[in-house]
Amino acid sequence: MPQLPTNPTPDNAERHKYLVAAIRWSSKGSSQGQLGHPLLHQAFANNLWREKNYAGSRYHFLHSGDGEGCASMLIEYHMREGYPSEVDLFIAQTVFQYLCLRNKCVAHSVFFCYTLKHPDIKSKPPFIFPLLNFLWLLLMAIEGGRLTVFSILCDKYKPSLCREPLYLEYLDRIGQIFFGLPPPRTRPTSILGEALFLLGPKGPAVMARARSRLSILNCDVK
């Protein structure tokens, strides 16, 4: 596995030049395009993690395919630099970004490894943190391709999602990728409104059945 150049200042120009050149080299003939080879990103992620450069490590983990390693790094990142109330925020952005990269398998892996191993998360689904419940149900909705469930989740968990402005932008993109929603400029003002529009006259009845299924899971969906 490649090693980063040894230097007392990790953010030096030499290192950046090395990273760019290595990623460009690994992209040649690769199905990953300009993103670089996943194993190379994994090596960079682990090196940066050892240096406690968590933001840099997280970026490379996003392109590595190593959900379990990313989860372990995020747990350490939160325990060292986050507040207890942010335990859900540290995983949410990463799950959303994996999904925006069309990598639902790794999104699933990083979420369940994080929630299983984090010492501050003491239960299996449903969780005591609403945002974690949203992520859990979102992954299930994507697996089933259920637009109605996705739309209701975005509507009912909006207070939790509004904690970070970027979350709604991520969800717009996720809706386009996995549920066939058009870009925001060409559809109604909310994801729920778009689902009702696409479902036609039967929309309200379908939504009611979806709400009933979600309430059985006891996940704060009223």
- Provide mean pLDDT across the span 85-92: 97
Of 21-25, 71-75, 84-88, 133-137, least confident by mean pLDDT is: 21-25
- Provide mean pLDDT across the span 163-173: 94
Report if residue 187 sits inside a domain. yes
C-alpha–C-alpha distance, residues 26 and 193, integer Å:
44
Angle between helices 67-81 and 104-117 (to 10 degrees): 50
Alpha-carbon dihedral angle through residues 162, 194, 176, 157, given to the nearest 10 degrees: 30
Report if residue 207 sits inside a domain. yes
Report if residue 106 sits inside a domain. no
Domain range holding 190? 144-222
Give the containing element (helix H, strand E) for 52.
none
pLDDT number for residue 203: 42
Report if residue 45 sits inside a domain. no
Distances (CA, A) of 46 to 7, 52, 54, 143, 162: 16, 10, 10, 30, 32
Distances (CA, A) of 71 to 32, 98, 116, 152: 22, 12, 10, 28
Q: Are 109 and 68 in contact (CB under 8 A)?
A: yes
Report if residue 31 sits inside a domain. no
Report if residue 215 sits inside a domain. yes
Report if residue 1 sits inside a domain. no
Q: Where in the chain does DSSP place strands (E)?
A: none
The yes-or-no verdict on residue 7 having pLDDT over 60 is no
User: How many domains does the structure of the chain reveal?
Assistant: 1
Q: How confident is the model at residue 25 (pLDDT cuts 50, 70, 90)?
A: confident
Joined tokens for residue 153: 């989740």
The per-residue pLDDT for range 200-213, each reduced to its tens digit, is 444 454 445 555 65
The per-residue pLDDT for range 94-127, each reduced to its tens digit, is 999 999 999 999 999 999 999 999 999 988 899 9
Joined tokens for residue 31: 């199905």
The per-residue pLDDT for range 29-63, each reduced to its tens digit, is 655 555 788 998 999 999 999 999 999 999 999 99
Report if residue 67 sits inside a domain. no
pLDDT number for residue 13: 75
